[in-house]
Amino acid sequence: MATAVTDAGDERAGARRRILDAAVARIAREGIDEVRIARIAMDAGVSAALVHYHFESREALLVEALEHSYEIAGDIRTSDVADGAPAAERLRAIIDSCLPVPGPQRDDWLLWVELWLRAARHPELGDAATRLYGRLHEWFCDSIAFGIASGEFQPVDPDQLTDTLLALIDGFGLRVLIGDTAVDLDRARAEIWAFAAQQLGLEA
């Protein structure tokens, strides 16, 4: 009996992951307003009723798809950073994981843009956007605090530096995303890291 319950739970979790994978791809290609639940269900190999069961609204689906995409993109970009790597290497990988590199990270960015627009028009989504930014903020803060504690970074206010880094990432990342020829991915990386290095007492 226990095995049957476990199998059922695994099956539900697998279906939910497939729905979120399909939602990320559809929303990134079409935008949340154009997405049809039936198409997501078809892509995920489930019924439309099951999609509605897991997600009560488009907004709920968007937020969870973004969280799902964020975790995948972050795992991909930071997977090569070895345990015990220097703090600077960790921070560079985190910055890279937050830029619209082609692939899952670009999809992640497209979902962020959708959330920005929806949250601006639907204040009830503000809490979700704030929560997601809070996760990013904590990730950066922990990395910066680690570098300060280990003596690799000069003392700074981790919260203040994190807020500025996230603002730079949003600004440069958006210009990369829209194909602004004045700001390509390499320049965005260089500009953001130059600022971080200056603040932390590192070589640019």
Considering only residues 95 and 128, tell me which one the structure prediction assigns the higher pLDDT.
Answer: 95
Q: Kindly state the average pLDDT of the residues 112-134.
A: 85
Q: Kindly state the average pLDDT of the residues 25-43.
A: 86
Residues 82 and 136 both lie in one domain: yes
Tell me the DSSP string of 17-57. HHHHHHHHHHHHHH-TTT--HHHHHHHHTS-HHHHHHH-SS
Residues 189 and 94 both lie in one domain: yes
What pLDDT is attached to residue 9?
A: 59
What pLDDT is attached to residue 75?
A: 56
Residues 51 and 77 both lie in one domain: no
List the domain range (segments joined by +) for residue 15: 1-55
What pLDDT is attached to residue 5?
A: 42
Residue type, 181: T
Confidence band for 4, pLDDT divided at 50, 70 and 90: very low
What pLDDT is attached to residue 103?
A: 86
pLDDT in tens, 155-171: 999 999 999 999 999 99
Tokens encoding 130 = 């704030």
The CATH number given to whatever domain includes residue 166 is: 1.10.357.10
The CATH number given to whatever domain includes residue 17 is: 1.10.10.60
Alpha helix segments (H runs only) across the chain: 2-30, 37-44, 48-54, 58-78, 87-97, 104-121, 126-149, 158-177, 185-200
CB 181: neighbour CB atoms within 10 A?
6
SS3 assignment, position 153: coil
Confidence band for 197, pLDDT divided at 50, 70 and 90: very high
| CA–CA distance, 15 with 29 (Å, rounded to integer) | 21
Residues 168 and 110 both lie in one domain: yes
Considering only residues 23 and 83, tell me which one the structure prediction assigns the higher pLDDT.
Answer: 23
What pLDDT is attached to residue 37?
A: 87
The count of structural domains within the chain is 2
What pLDDT is attached to residue 108?
A: 85
Residues 110 and 125 both lie in one domain: yes
Residue 34 has pLDDT above 70, yes or no: yes
Residues 29 and 80 both lie in one domain: no
Residue 35 has pLDDT above 90, yes or no: no
Residues 70 and 162 both lie in one domain: yes
Residues 25 and 70 both lie in one domain: no
Contacts for 20 with CB less than 8 Å, ≥ 6 apart:
64, 65, 68
